Amino acid sequence: MKIEYLGHSCFALRESTGTTIVTDPYQKIGYELSEVCADAVTVSHSHYDHNNVKAVKGNPRVFSEEGTYEFEGVEITAIKSYHDDKKGKHRGENLIFKFHMDGLDICHLGDLGEECTAELIEMLLPVNILLIPVGGTYTIDGEQAKEYVDRIMPEIVIPMHFKTKDLKLDIDKADGFLDLFEKDDVIDEGDNSIELSREDFTDGGTKVVLLERKKSDE
């Protein structure tokens, strides 16, 4: 499968069958979403930087409610969580999405803001590829994200929702999160996508893969 980073918390997940799912498409946040076509879109919550469904071409099916679904051979599970550490009192609820694609379990944590608990971890496992917010302020920060990684123990971690040059949101850069790992375990792809197959998950351990945003023509 191929994972393409479109910026912020938005990814295009492309199964080898061709089925494409886009996560949390955003409105302009200092930069614009590059053109993308998908069969389905998942929305973790209704904030403007995560729910710009109309920007995704292809008349996709939208998943924005808790539940378990099967779509074009892909298993999708939406798990309720909170956008803050006060059970949603400040910023409401957040949906975590799990996808089973090409034999791999991918987990997109959305704008997760709650503390790491055994109950939540149990609902998420197993996870091969973890897409995790690290910017703090509106979500978990780098140290909290590291705790989730240590508890979930995925093979691949891809940071999202962090400060970049053009982003206008007041959140942290990814550096604070990356610095919590051994240098040999952090891979800067220097690209906006990565291709993975089941055969890539045989060595054990966790690697952090930093992807660049696919830029639009703005």
**Residue pLDDT, tens place only, 135-169:** 998 899 999 999 999 999 999 999 999 999 899 99
Q: How far is CA 71 from the centre of its chain?
A: 19
Cis before 133? omega within 30: no
Q: How far apart are CA 100 and CA 122, in angstroms?
A: 17
What residue ranges in 29-101 does DSSP mark as E strands? Answer: 36-37, 40-42, 56-57, 61-63, 67-71, 74-82, 93-101
CA distances (Å), 4 to each of 113, 119, 192, 201, in order?
A: 24, 30, 6, 19
pLDDT of residue 178: 98
What domains can you pick out in the chain, each with its CATH number? 2-210 (3.60.15.10)
Predicted confidence at residue 217, as pLDDT, reads: 55
User: Interior CA angle at 216 toward 51 and 12, to 5°?
Assistant: 50
The β-bridge relationship of strands 40-42 and 20-23 is: parallel
Looking at residue 46, its pLDDT comes to: 81
3-class DSSP string for 104-120 = EEEEECCCCCCCCCHHH
In the chain, which residues have pLDDT < 50? 218
Q: Name the amino acid, one letter, at 119.
A: E
Q: Sign of dihedral through CA atoms 67, 72, 75, 76?
A: negative
pLDDT at 48: 75
Q: What is the pLDDT of residue 218?
A: 45
Say what the pTM is: 0.95
